[in-house]
Structure 1
């Protein structure tokens, strides 16, 4: 196998130049932070958040302006932008299972069912468990559903389910208050709902990324898909600071509502996105 767009010597030197500039720039920023006594974990996380947001923007602009990208490919890149945005929202919620939901498991969940006691960390097994359970179900569904939704339609449904998984977690606080512990089945339900969202977004995203990628940027486009995860987690690293038992209900409701609303907006835009995809489904 050979690369679709092998790099020539001039481009290689340009990449090396900008890599060096980037490393030097980051070193200068870190040195300045240290000089002003601001080199701490929170500020480094903020710097990473900025990079995780800036890099996708840079790559989208670069691909859209590249002379190597045809008119049809440029249209497909434009179609990919809302899919990237949707993926970032989803991953921000899904990956919070190891942060916010882990705190909820530790602080707010009854850690026994009858005489069976378990650790809060055991809830992390729900993600792979539900993936194994749901994967054959969705494989069967996509094989037998003749008029199944397009990729943007599946993404919009995935965003709604992701949002509902968080809104579901607001219910125990609304019903029973936030000072005590609640049934572990609230977390089980939330993980089940968000894994439905993952079935609608993660495998579909991997497939549609390769299909929409410009010929000259296939590797970079696949990197963009994983960058969506990084962007979602980077933003999540900032908003998680607002989570506590006192803000629990508002936190889950607000983030869940944002995801549901964007899912609805994306559903409205499905036809437009499908048009931009230029025959890709």
Structure 2
């Protein structure tokens, strides 16, 4: 199946049937909808579950430690996409990778559905990390598969797909989040498990009719000699890693701080290695090498953006719980509900942005200019949440409107970067590294959250204004830099717009 051409794949997919898009978008839309429901259902209550007192059903972990662990978990979730992308490109193909990933994710949430201590939590996290690495980059790659080369619908298709992601993300905090914080954390986690089960059913039932040959091929299959070598290397690596862990934990070398530092290094070292491998590969053409170079500044801009965006489930979740007046207009607001605002705003405005890009056609901003706008809005969002501290100090509870306004501003930036970044990745990816380049895109989020694991330690009531001001200011400065170098980036993209 590895010899399938792009034309053969596209012809096997019904090209009309889902809002004017290929019918396969329906299957991928709802598979990702339920996967994101399960992921964000867990994320909506994870930090609260960790630092709430045992008497309230939590684990009673130190607040700062809980924030760092959530960031580390998020980093590892996206970092695992490297392995998932490699397995899809070299072993399974994207379709089977999506299915296997869903199984692991569902099992991870099932483990959390039962009471247990830190051991159970870390085991469930490990399962979800593996599963998301297999599913997340590959379901997005399949979206790129179902469109003909040069199809103007593709950017709009990714925006619709992104809206599906956010429909699941919107419902999750309102259901699993409310059940978890108001009734029982483990019941909330079980709701997340059921969501992933529904996603698996949707994918299996509809893929043959809607997706045709998409995802069924292996882009760069291992030769028999490579398979033998790979198995040997992986086996040796696992044994060495097990020995190192067995020695490091009892001797005190492997602690949360040392592990955080290690993940921080890997968060940037792994993507750097990927850029080098793709650029130097003999399977990468000269035009593709140029596009790899163009992708580097976009990747770094995405890291800065996601560093701010992913603090919605850590710093801003804490801000919602501790700094926000949760009794508003006669309604008591659950702190988990604020995590529904980001996807709600995206659901409302994603169709507007999708329509805008299609309407503008060739007159729309270039990909680098869209990234610059996204960074600008992200920086402003932190300046917005800084203002209540300036106006009334860091001791008084603030109106939830401030938090909502900050999240709304961030969403404007997200719609300029996230769906556009997914689409740009499929366009700029070397042919031999399609799924792995999508994994590289998600590594921008992994690097961002690895960075956040260090940054969140600096946040406190005393440092609140300085924290938001510096990070927001850096994002704004970087947005200006990206804007001015956009013509250079565009030249290296070799005709990709």
CA contact (8 A) 1:161 1:197 kept: yes
Q: CA deviation at 1:16?
A: 3.2
1:185 is aligned to 401
Match of 2:485 among 254, 269, 272: 269
1:156 is aligned to 372
Deviates more, 1:13-22 or 1:55-64: 13-22
Q: Is residue 2:344 matched to residue 1:90?
A: no
Q: Is residue 2:283 matched to residue 1:68?
A: yes
Q: Is residue 2:446 matched to residue 1:236?
A: no
1:187-219 CA distance string (max 9 Å, x none): 000110111111001100110001101111111
1:227 is aligned to 443
Match of 2:242 among 7, 10, 27: 27
Deviates more, 1:7-16 or 1:247-256: 7-16
Distance 2:476 2:395 in 1: 28
Q: In structure 2, do the counterparts of structure 1 residues 67 and 90 end up closer, same or farther at CA, with 3 Å as the change threshold?
A: same
Q: Between Structure 1 and Structure 2, how many residues are aligned?
A: 281
Match of 1:140 among 355, 361, 380: 355
1:222-278 CA distance string (max 9 Å, x none): 111111111111111111110111100000011111111111111111000000000
CA contact (8 A) 1:5 1:215 kept: no
Distance 1:24 1:95 in 2: 34
Structure 1 gaps, min length 5: none
Distance 1:14 1:3 in 2: 19
Distance 2:477 2:230 in 1: 40
Match of 1:194 among 380, 395, 410: 410
1:48-88 CA distance string (max 9 Å, x none): 22222211111111111111111111000000011111111
Q: In structure 2, do the counterparts of structure 1 residues 28 and 252 end up closer, same or farther at CA, with 3 Å as the change threshold?
A: farther
2:323 is aligned to 108
Alignment of structure 1 residues 213-224 onto 2, 5 Å: 213-224=429-440
Deviates more, 1:43-52 or 1:168-177: 43-52
Per the normalisation by structure 1, the TM-score is 0.94
Per the normalisation by structure 2, the TM-score is 0.54
1:105-161 CA distance string (max 9 Å, x none): 111111111321112111111121111111111112112124111111101110111
Q: Is residue 2:128 matched to residue 1:128?
A: no
Q: CA deviation at 1:14?
A: 3.9
For the aligned residues, what is the CA RMSD? Answer: 1.6
1:260 is aligned to 476
Q: In structure 2, do the counterparts of structure 1 residues 97 and 14 end up closer, same or farther at CA, with 3 Å as the change threshold?
A: same
Distance 1:52 1:32 in 2: 24
CA contact (8 A) 1:151 1:204 kept: yes
Distance 2:410 2:398 in 1: 20
Q: In structure 2, do the counterparts of structure 1 residues 4 and 224 end up closer, same or farther at CA, with 3 Å as the change threshold?
A: same
1:37 is aligned to 252
2:219 is aligned to 4
1:47 is aligned to 262
2:334 is aligned to 119
Structure 2 gaps, min length 5: 1-212
CA contact (8 A) 1:165 1:193 kept: yes
Distance 2:218 2:316 in 1: 42
Q: In structure 2, do the counterparts of structure 1 residues 113 and 155 end up closer, same or farther at CA, with 3 Å as the change threshold?
A: same
Q: CA deviation at 1:18?
A: 4.0
SS in 2 for 1:269: helix
CA contact (8 A) 1:163 1:255 kept: yes
Distance 1:183 1:96 in 2: 19
Deviates more, 1:112-121 or 1:182-191: 112-121
Q: Is residue 2:289 matched to residue 1:56?
A: no
